[in-house]
Amino acid sequence: MAVTDIQASQPFLSRLLRPRPVIALLLLMWLPLMAYVMFGKTIGNNAQMVLLPAIPATLILYILGIRAFRESWVAVIGLTLVFFWLLMAVSAPYLPLLDPNKPIAPFTTPFTERKDVFFWLGTDFKGRDMLSRMIWGCQRVLVWGVTATLVAYVVGALFGLISGYLSGWWDEIISFAANVLLSFPVMVLFIVILNYLGPSGFNIVVAVTFASAPAIMRIVRGLALDIKTRDYVFAAQTRGEHPLYIMIFELLPNVRGPIIVDACLRLGYTTVAITTLTFLGLGLQPPDPDWGLMIRESAKTAMLWKFSYMLLVPALSVSSLILGFNLMADGLREMSLRD
Amino acid sequence: MLKLVLRRLVQMVLIMAVSSLLLFAIFDTPEFKKRLAVQELGGFAVSALTEDSYQDWLAARGLDVPFYQRYANWVGNILTGDFGFSFEKNRPVAPLLADRLANTGILAFFVFALMIPISLVLGVLAGMKEGSLQDRSISFISVFTTSIPEIASAILLTIVFALGLGWLPVKSAMIGGFDFRELVLPVLTLVIYDFGYVARMTRASMAEVMTSQYIRTAILKGIPYRRVVMKHALRNALIAPFTLIVLQLNWLLSGVVVVEVFFEYDGFGKLLLEAALFPDVEVVQACTLVAVAVAVVSQIISDIGYTFLNPRIRFA
């Protein structure tokens, strides 16, 4: 075979555009939710219309997920918990709920009727319905949590691939920068960054990126170091592919497995971080409902046995979401070890 | 061995230098200084803040000197034990920080005293028989407890033991002097979140050792199972968890913030958060620098400890 017969692989675009139904569904679920939460105010009154396609997409994804994970009941439980909250997030505007920001009857205990309204989970110190606040509260934490993790992954994986594949000075510099960032305790780093930037959702993304990307970079770097000596990488180098092409299309798909497990765990950490930061007053801001805010407001006003439901509801909600992420990670790891 | 220690020490000094420079630079940008000036000159100074009054403020705070000069000054002061002055608390930072660190030290001592035995025992029990019911239930418990964030477990514990049963006080502000009962809930919260991770790592390490050949030989020689575990397996299985436990110190410094704020315990984390919200820059810088120092030192101890404990590296 003549050398000229070796074909350069497919161009970038056609590889990226290969149809992948699961990714299309994920985008269909994710983009409306993101648009609704981040830009809902600018879209205007009919903002909830954008969520319409997300509801069936979420349901289909859940069914597909269960079929994919059926070997491991741990993963199925995790998936169910996560998708329960996702479904709540995308369908919150369509559920028959009271307005989460409207004060009705303060300090109503759960399962009581006041002012002709039955409160399943009672109301908080301002008289806002706890049930609707709980359901609406998952939107912001899910959107910002996933966005922050995603951005941290893009940045971390990019630097990890560069330092693992190119080695040399790149590796020295990037690894040292990662070491410096990793030597800050996470919460201290969050506080310093958010103190400097000011509290908001976008700034949480920045802070999480600074805190998580070094750890992700280390993982990806280790995997890349291992993979770059494989034959298919040499083949690509011989074909004369650009290093960027090799990193993205040869290395990245092959480090996917361990990364997905780690991503599930990291989603859990990010959720914890956002809730905790919001509780500390450095994260998401009122008045829109959020679990961390619910805890923050109730911890000041309702430290009594009678009103402990105000703290219990958000605490259990956030725990269940994080448990979902962790169980999913556990099940995925179990399944990846099996094959 | 000596070479490794020296290399790590050089690395530590480098990391401390870079992070202190970063920390100093981030609070030295014009925007941040302006924000600080607006806040210190009062709320209605927002419109009144002219270029002149801003320059006056800079001069009054000694901020008009060039950056590198102030940085050198700052580092020199810290090396001689002067951490600056807290504008919020109106006292020098060094004794304030020492007080708070001592309080957090008490908390950390009890956390470690409880967490180490619990996590090691559970991890060894789980790793001893991989895949058994014992292993599965312990693994499930550790996933479950690490899934509950500190803020949630703090709430649950408060509701049950303080609000419901009334056995323990709700807050741990230690107003009436040191009270051991006020320490119980913060310590439990941190232990519950933390022990699962160490237990899982211990389990993994133990499970690996139990499949090794020398353990098989020991079992085949007819040594009683209990003796195999206690004398042969444990020594090797506990090397990895040791380094991990030292590294937990770094983790504890971030976990301690939310617990101290929730229980109003006067420790390092609460000081840092109050300073950050104020914002009391010199306290934030001092706290962060101390946290980084603790993290870096614990990292070195864990590295050196690992090489020291592992005979394969020690004698190589």
B258 and A188 within 8 Å at the Cβ level: the answer is no
Q: Do B284 and A195 touch (CB under 8 A)?
A: yes
CA distances from B137 to A96, A321, B142 (A): 40, 21, 9
- Identity at A123, one-letter amino acid code: T
Mark yes or no for CB contact A183/B147 under 8 Å.
no
Share of chain B above pLDDT 90, in %: 8
pLDDT (tens digit per residue) in A56-105: 989 998 998 888 888 888 889 999 999 999 999 998 888 888 888 888 87
Residue carrying structure tokens 């022990």: B195
A3 has a pLDDT exceeding 80: no
Give the HSE-up count for residue A209: Cα atoms under 13 Å, Cβ half-sphere: 19
- Whether residues B276 and A318 touch (CB distance < 8 A) is answered with no
Based on its alpha-carbon atoms, the radius of gyration of chain A, rounded to whole angstroms, reads 23
Mean pLDDT confidence for B196-208: 88
Is the minimum CB–CB distance between A279 and chain B shorter than 8 Å? yes
CA distance B50 to chain A (A): 23
Whether the ω angle into residue A287 lies within 30 degrees of 0, i.e. cis, is yes
How far is B168 from B181, CA to CA, in rounded Å? 6
Q: Inter-chain contact A299–B276, Cβ cutoff 8 Å?
A: no
Predicted TM-score (pTM) of this structure: 0.88
Q: Is B86 left (phi over 0), alpha (psi -120 to 50) or beta?
A: beta
**B295 and A327 in contact by Cβ < 8 A?**
no
CA B19 to chain A, closest CA, distance in angstroms equals 6
Beta-carbon neighbour count of residue B58 at 10 Å? 15
B32 at the A interface (CB within 8 A)? Answer: yes
Sign, CA dihedral A145-B250-B289-B85, equals positive
Where do the H-state alpha helices sit in chain A? 12-16, 21-43, 54-68, 73-91, 130-166, 168-182, 186-197, 201-227, 231-239, 243-245, 256-280, 291-301, 309-338
Q: Is B268 on the interface with A (CB under 8 A)?
A: no
Residues of B in contact with A187 (CB under 8 A): 253-255, 257-258, 269
Distance CA(B223)–CA(A134), nearest Å, equals: 58
pLDDT at A1: 42
| CB distance A213 to A159 below 8 Å | yes
Q: Which pLDDT tens digit goes with each residue over B30-49?
A: 877 877 777 777 655 555 66
Q: Which pLDDT tens digit goes with each residue over B240-249?
A: 888 888 888 8
Asked whether the beta carbons of residue B254 and residue A315 sit closer than 8 angstroms, the reply is no
Burial readout B164-185 (b: 16 or more C-beta within 10 A, e: otherwise): eeeebbbebebeeeeeeebbbb
Judged by CB atoms closer than 8 Å, whether chains meet at B277 and A318 is answered as no
**Closest CB from B150, B159, B253 relative to A312:** B159
Question: Residue B222 region, left (φ>0) first, then alpha (ψ -120 to 50), else beta?
Answer: left
In sequence order, the 6+-apart residues with CB closer than 8 A to the CB of A54 are A28, A29, A30, A32, A33, A90
- Determine the distance from the C-alpha atom of residue B267 to the mean position of all C-alpha atoms in its chain, rounded to a whole number: 12
Average confidence (pLDDT) over B287-295: 89
> In this complex, do A180 and B18 lie within 8 Å of one another by their Cβ atoms?
yes
CB contact under 8 A, B272 and A188: yes
Distances (CA, A) of B261 to B69, B90, B267, B272, B283: 36, 21, 9, 10, 17
Question: CA B170, B279, B151, A290 torsion: positive or negative?
Answer: positive
Interface with B, mutate which of A184, A325, A332 (most B CBs under 10 A): A184
B94 Cβ under 8 Å from any chain A Cβ: no
Q: Does A322 touch chain B (CB under 8 A)?
A: yes
Q: How confident is the model at residue A2 (pLDDT cuts 50, 70, 90)?
A: very low
CA dist., res. B228 & res. B220, Å (int): 10
Q: What is the pLDDT of residue B167?
A: 83
- Among residues B22, B52, B20, B25, which one has the least CA distance to residue B37? B52
Full 3-state SS string of A130-167: HHHHHHHHHHHHHHHHHHHHHHHHHHHHHHHHHHHHHC
DSSP A266-294: HHHHHHHHHHHHHHHTSSS-SSS--HHHH
Q: Nearest by CB to B152, from A190, A195, A319: name it.
A: A319
Query: Which residue among A180, A191, A295 places its CB closest to the CB of B155?
Result: A295
A318 in B contact zone (CB under 8 Å): yes
Secondary structure of residue B241 in the 3-state scheme: helix
Tokens 């509780």, residue located:
A279
Q: Min CA distance, B159 vs chain A (Å)?
A: 6
Contact B273 A308 (CB under 8 A): no
- Specify the pLDDT at position A130: 86
Contact B188, B259 (CB under 8 A): no
| Dihedral (CA of B121, B123, B125, B128) sign | negative
Distance (Å) from the C-alpha of residue A15 to the closest C-alpha of chain B? 38
Helix-then-strand count for chain B, H and E: 16, 2
Using pLDDT thresholds of 50, 70 and 90, give the confidence band for residue A282: confident
Residues in Cβ contact with B69 at an 8 Å cutoff, skipping those fewer than 6 apart: none
Nearest-Cα residue of chain B relative to residue A323 = B147
Compute the average pLDDT of residues A104-132.
80
Q: Using one digit for the tens of pLDDT, what is the confidence trace for B247-271?
A: 888 888 888 889 999 988 888 889 9
| Residues A319, B149: C-beta atoms closer than 8 Å | yes
Instruction: Name the CA dihedral angle for A52, A150, A266, B277, rounded to a multiple of 10 degrees.
Output: -100
Mind telling me how many Å the CA of B281 is from chain A's nearest CA?
10
CB atoms within 10 A of CB A112: 13
The yes-or-no verdict on residue A12 having pLDDT over 60 is no
In the predicted structure, residue A150 carries a pLDDT above the cut 60 = yes
pLDDT per residue as tens digits for the range B56-113 = 777 777 777 788 888 888 888 888 888 888 777 778 888 888 888 998 998 999 999 9
Per-residue pLDDT tens over the stretch A223-263 = 888 888 888 888 888 988 888 888 888 888 888 778 888 88
Residues of chain A with C-beta less than 8 angstroms from the C-beta of B291: 184-185, 188
Contacts of B283 in chain A (CB under 8 A): none
Integer Cα distance of A303 and A298 in angstroms: 7
Q: Which of A180, A183, A326 lies at the smallest CB-CB distance from B147?
A: A326
B19 at interface of A, judged by CB pairs closer than 8 A: yes
The alpha-carbon gap from A9 to the nearest alpha carbon of chain B, in Å, equals 42
